[in-house]
Amino acid sequence: MTWVVIGAFGALGALARYGVSGAVQRLWRTTFPVGTLVVNLTGALGAGLLLGVAVGRDIPDLVLLGAGVGFLGGYSTFSTWMVETVLAAESGGGAGLRRAAENLAIPLIAGVALAGLGLTIGQWF
Amino acid sequence: MTDRLSLSTSITGRRRLAVAAGGAVGAIGRAAVIDVVDATRLDLLWSTFLVNALGSLVLGYVVARHAGRSHSSPFLIPFVGVGILGAFTTFSLFSTEVLELARAGDWLLAIGYPAGSIAVGFLAALLGVRFGGSK
């Protein structure tokens, strides 16, 4: 049962990522991988929220597994972030390396900050 | 009704289906790694570290070998790249783990864990891209 729930919510998460990152990348005409950035930052915010809401509450394991491990895990992505950074680094010279460094630092710092914000907001509920 | 049918059989619809199917496989695969790491009583940080490094390596290979190549199926990148490997790896859990380490005042790991994950993930993706790009 657990596996079915994780699989189903993982499918939904991946589908949501495909839709959101494609739409953001089309709207924001830039070579910076902003689609993956928006997906990962909203995923980090969502994970913080879930964690905050779960503190001191008796939320069923299946709900946490479905929403956290399934949906948010399937929605956010680490591998795409890394491969896009490698492609930026290989796009040429100092400018490419600078873009790769930006693409590592911005999501990392903003992701942890947004997870913290989500945790704080989640605990109000 | 015919509109709905034609939508689900269009290339876009079938790509979405491939992403969703891959997403289920990737998420279940990640859950399996969590179970295995949990059974070995290692810290669960290792499961996130492991899926992220492994997923970055394979995605690098798949993208370099198949993205935009006419000899590859148009569903290979949506299914394996976006679906399986995208869902197998995770950024949301990674972020909350770093946050929790910082909140616990475990500064060594709060800095070492993300630094190690990113260094290894980047090198793994680079290795994959090099392998996949070579003839």
Predicted confidence (pLDDT) per residue in A107-120, tens digit: 999 999 999 999 99
Residue of B nearest to A86 (CA): B126
Residue of A nearest to B124 (CA): A82
Indicate the pLDDT class of residue A125, thresholds 50, 70 and 90.
Answer: confident
On average, the pLDDT of chain A sits at 95
**Which one of B31, B86, B95 has the shortest CB-CB distance to A14?**
B86
Q: How far is A23 from chain B (nearest CA, A)?
A: 14
Distances (CA, A) of A32 to A46, A87, A89, B7: 23, 11, 12, 31
CA dist., res. B128 & res. A27, Å (int)? 30
pLDDT at A3: 95
Chain B residues touching A82 at Cβ < 8 A = 52, 56, 59-60, 118, 121-122, 124-125
Q: Do A46 and B129 touch (CB under 8 A)?
A: no
CA dist., res. B54 & res. B69, Å (int)? 23
Which residues, given as ranges, of chain B have pLDDT below 50?
1-3, 5, 7
Q: Do A73 and B98 touch (CB under 8 A)?
A: no
Q: Do B56 and A79 touch (CB under 8 A)?
A: yes
Say what the pTM is: 0.93
Tokens 């919510």 correspond to what residue?
A9
Q: Which residues of B48-78 are buried (b: 16+ CB within 10 A; e: fewer)?
A: bbbbbbbbbbbbbbbbbbbeeeeeeeebbbb
